[in-house]
């Protein structure tokens, strides 16, 4: 049937920090249903199905109205199959990025999620035949490689040939990621590097682990042969920190040195997804965003599509270019010469 809907509403489950959700594209919602609430899983599913019914009648929830995922097309009927599971039911992490949108808790210990055990729910979905090779699983967190049950979750999902993407800081090498990358369904790991030098790395991540990350990337690439294009490096562009040509050049030199073939660029979504009124994107960030793409092209590196970042940069979503003149000049100098 032709109507405005999105893949999340059609069949997503979020194992979120405090409970079940069906989408994490916009910060404003939906509210989570606490894991310990009776029938929480089914309540989450029911509200999703109710939204589909409403969308068929043209009734769009307020929080979805500006989301770039919303699309008018001929949507298939929901058949019980899960399209996407986002697993981020823990917050511990072995880095302390200043920008971390989940306000991770720093820890150097591999430990279980204190919130909820994802294994039984994944097991149930597998037993009910609701996961298959069309299902996409995103591991977020916290840091997936610091989650005790992570290798077991990957093993289970590999059995159903689900497509997986792990977002990782790459500080710790994890064998399960190599197994996942070598499987037959385009699985990927996206490593947040956000810079091209040790000095900037420390400034952003608050840990001195740039060399460890390089070593992890190299191992993933070396161990995946002709599937090494599944190892992606990510760069979130921040004003006056890494939005200058030199840092971006260093990042692409790093990609070149390590044999990375895919990169992703993003912008800070802390303010943009939460405060939809006053988002300010500095000109230097907008320029760096373009420069990043031109350098990717120059080095023959594929850019992963990032609809949210594109929408913010292209000013489709928020009014984000009202920057005072002095700040604009400062960011211009930073972009060109890396001046702080
Ligand atoms: C919370 S992190 C957890 C995964 C992993 N520890 C990592 O850093 O990649 C999940 C994703 O959110 C992104 N992220 C975190 N804070 C962000 C922010 N303020 N703006 C844009 N992306 C952000 C990270 O780059 C990462 O790809
Ligand atoms: S590495 Fe990921 S989870 Fe850890 S602090 Fe940084 S963004 Fe947050």
Evaluate if residue 315 carries a pLDDT over 90. no
Q: What is the pTM of this model?
A: 0.90
Q: Is 274 in the pocket of ligand 1 (CB under 6 A)?
A: no
Q: Is the pLDDT of residue 88 over 80?
A: yes
Say how many Å lie between the CA of residue 304 and the centre of ligand 2.
20
Is the separation of the CB atoms in 122 and 156 below 8 Å? yes
pLDDT at res. 114: 80
275 pLDDT band (50/70/90 cuts)? Answer: very low
The DSSP letter of residue 75 is P
Q: What is the mean pLDDT of residues 118-134?
A: 93
8 Å CB contact between 2 and 19 = no
Using alpha carbons, list the distances in angstroms from residue 206 to 99, 111, 168, 210, 243.
11, 21, 16, 11, 18
Find out whether 229 and 187 touch, Cβ atoms under 8 Å. no
Contact residues for 286 (Cβ-Cβ < 8 A; gap 6+)? 313, 321
The atom of ligand 2 lying closest to the CA of 142 is 3
Give pLDDT, residue 116.
84
**259: Cα within 13 Å, side-chain hemisphere:** 16
Nearest Cα to 146, choosing from 211, 210, 95, 204? 95
Ligand 1 atom with least separation from CA of 104 = 1
Q: Is the CB of 169 under 6 A from ligand 1?
A: yes
Q: Which two tokens stand for residue 180?
A: 């996942």
pLDDT tens digits, one per residue of 224-244: 999 999 999 999 999 889 999
272: pLDDT strictly greater than 60: no
Could you tell which of 25, 98, 167 is best to mutate to test the pocket of ligand 1, judged by most ligand atoms within 8 Å of the CB? 167
| Residue 311 or 74, more confident | 74
Stretch 140-159: mean pLDDT, rounded?
Answer: 96
Q: Please tell me the distance from the alpha carbon of residue 55 to that of residue 131, in angstroms, as a whole number.
A: 25
pLDDT at 277 over 60: no
Which domains can be identified in the chain, with CATH numbers? 2-337 (3.20.20.70)
pLDDT of residue 253: 98
Ligand 1 probe mutation, 139, 192, 271, 272, most atoms within 8 A of CB: 192
Q: 143 CB less than 6 Å from ligand 1?
A: yes
pLDDT (0 to 100) of residue 30: 72
Task: Work out whether the CA dihedral 279, 283, 287, 290 comes out positive or negative.
Answer: positive
User: 179: helix, coil or strand?
Assistant: helix
Phi, psi angles (nearest 5°) of residue 317: -95, -45
Distance 295 CA to ligand 1 centre (A): 23
Ligand 2 centre to CA of 169 (Å) is 7
Other CB atoms within a 10 A radius of the CB of residue 303 amount to 14
Please report which confidence band the pLDDT of residue 307 belongs to, taking 50, 70 and 90 as the band edges: confident
Rounded mean pLDDT, 20-29: 73
What mean pLDDT do residues 270-284 have? 58
Whether ligand 1 lies within 6 angstroms of the CB of 266 is answered as yes
Residue 143 CA: nearest ligand 2 atom is 3
Q: Is 44 in the pocket of ligand 1 (CB under 6 A)?
A: no
Q: In a 3-state reduction of DSSP, which class is residue 199?
A: helix
Confidence of residue 20 (pLDDT cuts 50, 70, 90): very high
Number of H helices, E strands in the chain: 12, 14
C-alpha separations of 195 from 152, 254, 308 in Å: 32, 9, 20
Which residues does 226 contact at the CB level (< 8 Å), separation at least 6?
none
Dihedral angle over CA of 78, 79, 82, 84, nearest 10: -30
Distance of CA 216 to the CA centre of its chain: 19
Instruction: State pLDDT tens for residues 161-206.
Output: 999 999 999 999 999 999 999 999 899 999 999 999 999 999 999 9
Quote the ligand 2 centre to 103 CA distance (angstroms). 8
For residue 276, what pLDDT band results from cuts at 50, 70 and 90?
Answer: very low
Residue ranges around ligand 2 (CB below 6 Å):
93, 95-97, 100, 102, 104, 141-143, 169, 192
Average per-residue pLDDT in the chain? Answer: 89
For atom 25 of ligand 1, the residue with the nearest CA is 192
Q: Is a pLDDT exceeding 70 seen at residue 139?
A: yes
Kindly give the number of the ligand 2 atom that is closest to the alpha carbon of 171: 1
Question: How many CB atoms lie under 10 A from the CB of residue 51?
Answer: 22
Q: Is the CB of 236 under 6 A from ligand 1?
A: yes
Which 8-state DSSP code applies to residue 68? T
Determine the pLDDT at residue 322.
52
pLDDT average, residue stretch 263-267: 94
Q: What is the pLDDT of residue 319?
A: 44
């Amino acid at each position: 049937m032709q109507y405005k809907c999105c893949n999340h509403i059609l069949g997503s489950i979020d194992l979120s920090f405090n409970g079940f959700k069906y989408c994490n594209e916009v910060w404003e919602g939906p509210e989570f249903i606490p894991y310990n609430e009776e029938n929480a899983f089914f309540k989450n599913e029911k509200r999703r199905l109710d939204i589909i019914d409403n969308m068929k009648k043209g009734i769009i929830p307020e929080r979805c109205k500006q989301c770039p995922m919303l699309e008018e097309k001929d949507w298939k009927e929901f058949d019980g199959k899960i399209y996407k599971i986002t697993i981020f039911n823990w917050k511990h992490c072995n880095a302390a990025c200043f920008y971390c949108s989940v306000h991770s808790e720093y820890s150097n210990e591999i430990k279980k999620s204190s919130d909820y055990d994802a294994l039984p729910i994944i097991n149930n979905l597998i037993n009910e035949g609701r996961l298959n090779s069309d299902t996409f699983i995103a591991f977020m967190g916290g840091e997936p490689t610091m989650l005790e049950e992570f290798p077991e979750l990957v093993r289970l999902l590999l059995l159903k040939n689900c497509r997986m993407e792990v977002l990782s800081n790459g500080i710790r090498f994890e064998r399960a990621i190599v197994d996942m990358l070598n499987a037959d369904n385009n699985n990927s790991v996206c490593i947040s590097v956000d810079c091209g030098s040790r000095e900037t790395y420390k400034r952003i991540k608050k840990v001195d682990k740039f060399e460890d990350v390089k070593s992890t990337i190299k191992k993933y690439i070396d161990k995946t042969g002709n599937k090494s294009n599944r190892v992606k490096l990510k760069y979130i562009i921040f004003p006056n920190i890494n939005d200058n040509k030199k840092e971006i050049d260093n990042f692409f030199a790093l990609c070149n040195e390590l044999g990375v073939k895919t990169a992703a660029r993003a912008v800070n979504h802390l303010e943009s997804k939460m405060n939809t009124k006053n988002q300010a994107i500095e000109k230097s960030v907008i320029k760096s965003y373009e420069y990043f793409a031109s350098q990717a092209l120059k080095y023959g590196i594929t850019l992963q599509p990032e609809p949210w970042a594109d929408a913010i940069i292209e000013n489709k979503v928020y009014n984000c270019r009202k920057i005072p003149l002095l700040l604009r000049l400062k960011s211009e100098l930073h972009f060109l010469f890396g001046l702080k």
